[in-house]
């Protein structure tokens, strides 16, 4: 990440708007925050709604990703926005607002910041992937990630998922 942030900093448009924010809900969240596994093949992310479609920002970002991929012998798609096809602009804005409220920063560099997508949304995505027909043998990893997300939510809520705080009676479901 540090190398990507540094490469992004060579572009005046990036520097003018830095740091460029992304959210992620997949393997990078599992590795860096939940610690439910040791590695991930790629980082699926969404760019800040402010920069969707902005080639002055997206092109230098993609170029930085490619330079790092070549230098470190990574998959050329090691950091990508493939999950953006599932997200409307309105939803993207809401996800970034919720990510800001959640305040889980996975990486913060001078030109690049990656936050965790809302854990509930990340869990929903994992559960959909687990249920999907075409799995590419990733089911066990996804189940492990989902369990780690549920554990995080339980810890964050200081009790069972679905409760906010300590319930006074059985009718205080969220």
pLDDT in tens, 143-157: 888 899 999 999 988
Q: Which two tokens stand for residue 17?
A: 């708007």
Specify the residue for token string 């969240």: 29
Instruction: Name the pairing type of β-strands 79-80 and 105-108.
Output: unpaired
Task: Determine, yes or no, domain membership for 163.
Answer: no
Task: Determine, yes or no, domain membership for 9.
Answer: yes
Task: Determine, yes or no, domain membership for 68.
Answer: yes
Task: Determine, yes or no, domain membership for 172.
Answer: no
Task: Determine, yes or no, domain membership for 145.
Answer: no
Task: Determine, yes or no, domain membership for 127.
Answer: no
Specify the range with the lowest mean pLDDT, choosing from 44-58, 78-92, 150-164: 150-164
Q: What is the mean pLDDT of the chain?
A: 87
3-state DSSP call for residue 94? helix
| Mean pLDDT of the region 45-63 | 94
Range of the structural domain that residue 80 is part of:
2-118
Separation CA 72–CA 67 (nearest Å)? 9
Domain total for the chain? 1
Cβ atoms 111, 2 nearer than 8 A = no
Separation CA 172–CA 87 (nearest Å)? 32
3-state DSSP call for residue 106? strand
The pTM assigned to this predicted structure is 0.84
CB atoms near residue 64 (< 10 Å) = 23
């Amino acid at each position: 990440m540090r190398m990507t942030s540094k490469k992004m900093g060579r572009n005046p448009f990036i520097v003018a708007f830095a740091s460029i924010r992304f959210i992620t809900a997949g393997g990078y969240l599992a590795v860096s925050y939940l610690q439910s596994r040791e590695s991930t093949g790629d980082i699926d992310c969404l760019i800040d709604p402010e920069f969707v479609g902005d080639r002055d920002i997206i092109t230098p970002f993609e170029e930085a990703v490619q330079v790092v991929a070549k230098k470190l012998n990574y998959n050329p798609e090691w950091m990508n926005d493939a999950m953006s096809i599932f997200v409307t602009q309105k939803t993207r804005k809401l996800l970034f607002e919720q990510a800001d409220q959640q305040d889980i920063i996975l990486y913060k560099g001078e030109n690049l910041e990656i936050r965790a997508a809302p854990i509930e949304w990340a869990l929903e995505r994992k559960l959909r992937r687990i249920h999907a027909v075409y799995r590419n043998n990733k089911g066990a990893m996804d189940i492990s990630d989902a369990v780690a997300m549920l554990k995080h939510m339980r810890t964050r809520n200081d009790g069972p998922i679905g409760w906010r705080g300590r319930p006074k009676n059985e009718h205080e479901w969220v």
